[in-house]
Structure 1
Amino acid sequence: MVNMKPIEVDETLTELVVSWRRHLHAHPELSYQEEETASFVEERLREMGLRPTRVAKTGVVALVEGAREGKTVALRADMDALPIVEETGLPFSSKRPGVMHACGHDAHTAILLGAAKLLSSNREVIRGCVKLIFQPAEEAAPRGGAPSMIEAGVLDEPRVEAILGLHVWPDLPLGEIGIKEGAMSAASDPFRIEVLGKSAHASTPHYGVDAIAICGPLLSALHSIVSRQVSPTDQAVVTVGTIQGGQRYNVLADRVEMRGTARTYDPAVRDRVERAIRSAVEGICSSMGGTGVLEYNRGYPPTVNDPFVTEVMRSLIRDLFGEEALFEVRQPALGGEDFAFYAERVKGAFMWLGCRPKEVPVEEFPTLHNGRFNPDERCLPIGVKLLANGALRLLEVLG
């Protein structure tokens, strides 16, 4: 039966989830250093009568077994923080200088803990099992923490049929939930270019090969890839974020390093952009007497929502929160998200959870990865209700 009564988040659970989020916010940990976070998660899960298992060093997985036989779906949250100085001034600000939950992973972890408590208190309505995946190192691009969790077998024993995840989203106001089938976020591919020339005195440049001079046309060529080699109907971004080189003001640089990132949605476009970057590096450097070396790393793939799971969640959002809560995403994000690795293996849906107070204009609200980012905590019970009931709905329709 699909039209089952939803399980509700009461005030007591809401207060718990808020307190968990604040504790996590005050004690952030960087990727693969989430020891205290993992221990906190394990303690809360044990209090619910669950048996958590540590995997992939700082990851945690647990299983909520329902009263009825059925399949298994997974809920995933990321746990790591960022090397950012917090500027919120909150009473529960980071106690670790230079480390902050500036991407909302404290909220994600607290939401999944809340969903775990709600589900474990309602086992009689669960048809099958719900696997809880608390993942480290989402910020550790280009690999991220998801591949290690998958290699550790979190999608197996019992085999996961579908997976859900969410991200607090400051572009959306409180109460709205964004979703679409297809790409929700981009492939994220970092690259490094080494431009090699030949040193000479600045007064005799004809005796050398100026690596800095090579970087000028190379940078222009890289920035023209999207406008001239990618169809206007496709989308891509190529950005060079750092350029470092040179030893002294009167010496030609013999080496310059450039680092950047390419973002794409379509696999064919991803291939085309990589080829174009490689062609520009090799061609321009050699034409100016130097050598170009490209290290191109395939990072996170695009996060692609399964049409079936997406439609199930669309219907659920309407049922739980009303038509006005459903935000149909038109423009996917160009940021990377390692939930993509799970969605490559099993049917999945990733959602955006509105976390900006409605009265605050989007341009005035601190965005993700900002030292002042602080999601409206009223989004937490919405996320709990969404994930817990999403798992129940999927188990029912999967049979």
Structure 2
Amino acid sequence: MRSTHTLCTLDETRDLAEELKDIRHRLHRHPELAYEEFQTSDFVAQTLERWGYEVTRGLAGTGMVASLKAGSSSRAVAVRADMDALKITEQTGLPYASVMPGHMHACGHDGHTTMALGAARHLARTRRFDGTVHLVFQPAEEIGGSNSGAKRMIADGLFERFPCDAIFGLHNHPGYPAGTFMFRSGSFMSASDIVDIVIRGRSGHAARPHLAIDPVMTGAMLVVALQSIVARNVDPMQTAVVTVGAFNAGHAANAIPEKAHLRLSVRSFDAQVRKQLEIRIRALAQSIAEGHGAEVDIDYVAGYPTVINSAAETELAAQVARELVGDACVIDPFERIAGSEDFAFYLQHKPGCFLRLGNGEGAPMLHNASYDFNDQNLTVGAAYWTRLVERFLAPGLPGQ
């Protein structure tokens, strides 16, 4: 492997700071929702083509892959950035705030895309690697469930059409200083499932409850019982979350409604625990409903799987960060995160690492109307992705 002084440093991308800031602010002004990233996709593709990349569009609708080859090696690495925004009305008051009513880049995907573009810019002008880099610009990370952008990219032949030896991605992380990198090998971010439970009773007058079957009381009993799953059914050494996020039933004070609707978010880090949670949730919903004379419909939707980082790729990714920003700005291992991420689907097919990058102490949290991506990270992220590609595709590695 080449000596570290020939790899990208922070100083090498500083001249891109204003250009990247302009790009990020442009993307922030024009947020687009899942599978609607038409302007974003056009802009990203045209920019990459101008820099000499071979761009393949149409994966997962608005997704694309930009490829650049240098040298003669058959090795390849992929770097993924997400592009979609959220249905949130921005309240930042920034001069580059969203001009799309009710839409906002409240998760920093504008920054993720811009950092990848920064790396693309620098890789194209230096070409200090031997092999092929595939930059994956993905739609619809925020959509959740089984229709995510990552899953559709894979179904559209991502890894068959663009073979790679590993794939890497990152997400910004408010609450930690900008420029701080966080890593964890193995299970890092949780699986996330959504459960819709509809309890069907018999409507009636509030003054004659004995003639009705009350789905509200049945639902209330179920909400309490669901909390016993993590406390009494899951191994205390494991981590799981069962949250009832919505409970809707009835409209009038003097009427017992016919049905109640509960929505649950279920999170876990272990495949066996994930199965156990589903079994217990179904059993409790069925038994409690039957015990009160009600009927129940359960729609259990498997969402994103657990993000499981491979050991070798995580070690490499962390080493690159240490070389770039120093040991003091690297946390390894970082704590596990109960949030979910569809990058997990890629890691079911390829080795790789998903990491976090601090977005600033005291900064608004993700999915918050006051959130904004930290522009200090733009050149740092561009340098990091560049150096990682140069490390991974260094001349003389085995298999070349």
TM-score of the alignment, normalized to the shorter chain, above 0.5: yes
> Partner letter of residue 328 of structure 2?
E
What SS does the corresponding residue of 1:70 show, helix, strand or coil?
coil
- 1:381 corresponds to 2:379: yes
> Pairwise mapping of residues 168-247 of structure 1 onto structure 2 (< 5 A)?
168-247=172-251
2:55 equivalent in structure 1: 52
2:8 equivalent in structure 1: 7
What SS does the corresponding residue of 1:150 show, helix, strand or coil?
helix
Deviating 4+ runs (over 6 angstroms): none
Deviation at residue 10 of structure 1 after TM alignment: 3.0
2:139 corresponds, among 125, 136, 139, to 136
Deviation at residue 179 of structure 1 after TM alignment: 0.4
> Partner letter of residue 21 of structure 2?
V
Deviation at residue 187 of structure 1 after TM alignment: 0.2
Task: Give distance in 1, aligned partners of 2:15 and 2:335.
Answer: 37
Identity of paired residues, percent?
38
> Partner letter of residue 29 of structure 1?
E
> Pairwise mapping of residues 1-399 of structure 1 onto structure 2 (< 5 A)?
1-4=1-4, 5-8=6-9, 9-54=12-57, 55-123=59-127, 125-143=128-146, 144-356=148-360, 362=361, 364-396=362-394, 397=397, 399=399
Task: Give distance in 2, aligned partners of 1:398 and 1:221.
Answer: 55
Deviation at residue 216 of structure 1 after TM alignment: 1.2
Task: Give distance in 1, aligned partners of 2:40 and 2:157.
Answer: 21
Count of residues in Structure 1 that have an aligned counterpart in Structure 2 = 392
In the superposition, relative to structure 1, how do residues 398 and 289 fare at CA in structure 2: closer, same or farther (>3 Å)?
Answer: farther
- Tell me if the contact between 1:166 and 1:350 (Cα under 8 Å) persists in the aligned partners: yes
> Partner letter of residue 386 of structure 1?
Y
Deviation at residue 247 of structure 1 after TM alignment: 4.2
- Tell me if the contact between 1:34 and 1:58 (Cα under 8 Å) persists in the aligned partners: yes
> Partner letter of residue 134 of structure 1?
F
> Partner letter of residue 378 of structure 1?
Q
What SS does the corresponding residue of 1:239 show, helix, strand or coil?
strand
- Tell me if the contact between 2:54 and 2:68 (Cα under 8 Å) persists in the aligned partners: no
Q: Which one is further off, 143-152 or 1-10?
A: 1-10
Task: Give distance in 2, aligned partners of 1:81 and 1:329.
Answer: 29
Q: Which one is further off, 341-350 or 42-51?
A: 42-51
Task: Give distance in 2, aligned partners of 1:122 and 1:156.
Answer: 28
- Tell me if the contact between 1:68 and 1:126 (Cα under 8 Å) persists in the aligned partners: no
- Tell me if the contact between 2:90 and 2:369 (Cα under 8 Å) persists in the aligned partners: yes
Deviation at residue 127 of structure 1 after TM alignment: 1.3
- Tell me if the contact between 1:50 and 1:62 (Cα under 8 Å) persists in the aligned partners: yes
Deviation at residue 101 of structure 1 after TM alignment: 0.3
Task: Give distance in 1, aligned partners of 2:162 and 2:103.
Answer: 36
TM-score w.r.t. the length of structure 1 is 0.95
Task: Give distance in 1, aligned partners of 2:317 and 2:205.
Answer: 65
- Tell me if the contact between 1:189 and 1:297 (Cα under 8 Å) persists in the aligned partners: yes
TM-score w.r.t. the length of structure 2 is 0.95
- Tell me if the contact between 1:71 and 1:398 (Cα under 8 Å) persists in the aligned partners: no
Aligned-pair RMSD on alpha carbons?
1.3
Gapped regions of structure 2 (runs ≥ 5):
none
Task: Give distance in 1, aligned partners of 2:198 and 2:390.
Answer: 51
Task: Give distance in 2, aligned partners of 1:90 and 1:306.
Answer: 39
Gapped regions of structure 1 (runs ≥ 5):
357-361
Task: Give distance in 1, aligned partners of 2:70 and 2:161.
Answer: 15
> Partner letter of residue 309 of structure 1?
E
Deviation at residue 315 of structure 1 after TM alignment: 1.4
Q: Which one is further off, 315-324 or 137-146?
A: 315-324
> Partner letter of residue 368 of structure 1?
L
What SS does the corresponding residue of 1:284 show, helix, strand or coil?
helix
